[in-house]
Amino acid sequence: MRMGAELAVAEINARGGVHGRRLALVIQDDSAKPEVAVTAARALYANPRVVAVIGHLTSAATLAAAPIYGGGRHPLAVVSPSASAPSLSRAGPYVFRVCPTDVEHGTRLAQFAIRRLGARSAAILYQNDEYGRGIRSTFSQEFLRLGGRLVSDDPYVPELSSFEPYLRRLRQRGGADVLLIAGTAATAQRILPTLDTVGLKPRVLGGDALSGLESFPRAEGVLMSSAYLPDRPGERNAAFVAAYRAAYLGQPLDHRGAAAYDIVYLLARGLDAVGADRRRLRDYLAGIGRTSPPYQGVTGTIAFDEEGDVPGKEVVVGVVRDGRLVMAQN
């Protein structure tokens, strides 16, 4: 995400900045922890040179920081590239995001499983937190709605010693066509070998939290939903990918970097239109897709609804092929 943002800032400043003023990034690290995110948010809020915030990466951090940004006398817009928790929709008028919510990921994955994979049964391993529960809940609803059957639905915490009992019980229950891992890439790395141990071979599905899993050898063939894939068609995206690859050799590019890139350009447009004023900038953002035309970014069309979400934005499903996530046959 940082690299995507820095690339955009460098490009804009190379063209003379906004109204002759150069853009500058103020970097804070929230370590993906809500309490750290609050501290970071306070620092950014107190800095009068900060006109908008790009972040946070995770929903929990964004949720924790949202009251800081939206309160006080000089509220500050925060635009997350990747916080996809449904509850973020109600976090206030100063919170925006350019990614689809988990609900949309779960729904999209269920549709993909039934329609593209022809699945009839599904098992779910979900991390027992907001993200995992969100994906699990929308997936199961859609899957059941489309006529599928849930074989198992088990929660876990990252500290869980072994997934073997869950998977062995799944085997006892006759297995499932697809396994939804509603959790992170780290957990998935532990689950995939266990599947082999237990002797199950379902198609493994996951949300965008599995990003990074593609570099894991066992991940070949794993399907994951994403707001963005580098091989997404479009000239603008191709130019971005080329620039990114040129700038950061060998560094993986995911939806977060691309979204951060889009957000920087979006904010630069806003600064150009209304100037460096926090409140006006927020109003400008809120008007995109409603009072002003949608923004065509590298990640797709950005148009905010009244809750700062982008409901029209597509969710794509990618598949790990040769260590890379590519567009699956949607």
Partner 1 sequence: MKAPRVNTVRSRLLLGSGALIGGIVAIAVLALLSLRALRQAVTEETALLSQVAQLSTGILAAAFDEVRAAELYLSEPSQQARVQFQQSADETYEFGERLRALPRLAEEQRAAIARIGDLQQQVQAAYSYAHALRDLGRDQRAQAAVGAAREPATQMMRLVRTLSANLSAQAEQGGTALLVRADERELLVWVVLALSIVLAGGVSIVTLRSVEVPTERLGLAVQRFSAGDLRPIHLGTMPRELAVLGDAMSRVGTQLRSLVQEVVHESERISATATDLSAVSQELAATASEVSTAMVDVSRGAETQVGGLEAAQSAVERLAASAGSNAELARRVAERGQDIHRLAARYQRDVAAAAKALLDLGGVVQQSARQVDALDQRSESINEFVDVIKQISSQTNLLALNAAIEAARAGERGVGFAVVAQEVRELADSSGAAAEEVAEHIRIVRQQVSQVAETMATGRIKVQGVEEVAQGAARALEAIGGSVSEVEEAAGRLAQAAEGNLTVVQEIRAVLQRVAAAAHAHASASEEVTAAAQEQGAATQQMAAQAGELSQAAQRLRGLVKGFRV
Which tokens belong to 2? 């940082």
Please count the residues of this chain forming the interface with partner 1, following the rule CB under 8 A: 18
Least spacing, CB of residue 132 vs partner 1, in Å = 9
CA–CA gap between residue 255 and residue 101 (Å, rounded) = 13
Residue 307 lies near partner 1 (rule: CB under 8 A): no
Least spacing, CB of residue 82 vs partner 1, in Å = 21
Q: Which of 33, 116, 120, 169 binds partner 1 (CB under 8 A)?
A: 169
Phi/psi for 270 (5° steps) reads -60, -45
Residue 155 lies near partner 1 (rule: CB under 8 A): yes
Least spacing, CB of residue 51 vs partner 1, in Å = 28
> Exposed/middle/buried for 143, CB within 10 Å: 0-12, 13-18, 19+?
buried
Residue 143 lies near partner 1 (rule: CB under 8 A): no
Q: Within 10 A of 168 (CB to CB), how many other CB atoms are there?
A: 16
Residue 157 lies near partner 1 (rule: CB under 8 A): yes
Residue bearing tokens 């040769």:
322
Contacts of 72 (CB under 8 A, 6+ apart): 45
Q: With beta carbons less than 8 A apart as the criterion, state whether 94 and 77 touch.
A: yes
Residue 165 lies near partner 1 (rule: CB under 8 A): yes
Residue 160 lies near partner 1 (rule: CB under 8 A): yes
Q: Which of 90, 145, 149, 201 binds partner 1 (CB under 8 A)?
A: 90
Q: Which of 92, 150, 154, 243 binds partner 1 (CB under 8 A)?
A: 154
Residue 133 lies near partner 1 (rule: CB under 8 A): yes
E strand residue ranges, the chain: 52-54, 77-80, 95-97, 121-127, 149-156, 178-182, 203-206, 223-226, 295-297, 300-302, 316-321, 324-327
Q: Which is nearer to partner 1, 90 or 290 (CB)?
A: 90
Residue 172 lies near partner 1 (rule: CB under 8 A): yes
Strands 316-321 and 324-327: antiparallel
Residue 166 lies near partner 1 (rule: CB under 8 A): yes
Binding site for partner 1 (CB under 8 A): 34, 87, 90, 128-130, 133, 153-157, 160, 165-166, 168-169, 172
